[in-house]
Amino acid sequence: MNPNITLVVQGLAFFAVAWIVMKYGWPHIIAAIEERQAKIAEGLAAADRARQELADADARVADEIRKARSEATAIIEKATQQANQLVEKAKTDAIVEGTKQKAIAAAEIESMAHRAREELRGKVAALAIAGAEKILKREIDASAHKDLIDQLVSEI
């Protein structure tokens, strides 16, 4: 066998195989490569969209947190104001109740003083009658001299 013929036949076989691969196999390989490129591009686009959505979600979350904090601050301020109002109302009610209790106590003291004066007047009148009896050495009739005794009690 001649090496030149073998070389030519191998060259022809190579070109035949290359032509068959180029004709029938190459389009499938290129299609698979293009499909893979499309999937990769689609995956990258989806990742970019997801990254953008995540950034948007982070911004919304930060905004919601800021709103929640401001609402919490407003609620705390309102609760503090209500607590202060309740304390002031309790103080006012306590002052009013203290004044009322003071007035009741003063009225009760005045009433007790008046009763004590009346009782004292009665005792002084009884002592005056007893003293007059001893002075006159005879008994004075309290019912007969009631007007006189009442006048004496009112003067005392």
Q: Give the separation between CA 156 and CA 147, rounded to whole angstroms.
A: 14
The per-residue pLDDT for range 14-36, each reduced to its tens digit, is: 999 999 988 998 898 999 999 99
- What residue ranges do the domains of the chain occupy? 3-111
Straight-line distance from the first to the last Cα atom of the chain, in angstroms, rounded to the nearest whole number: 171
Q: What is the DSSP string of 34-97?
A: HHHHHHHHHHHHHHHHHHHHHHHHHHHHHHHHHHHHHHHHHHHHHHHHHHHHHHHHHHHHHHHH
Contact 29, 37 (CB under 8 A): no
The per-residue pLDDT for range 44-82, each reduced to its tens digit, is: 999 999 999 999 999 999 999 999 999 999 999 999 999
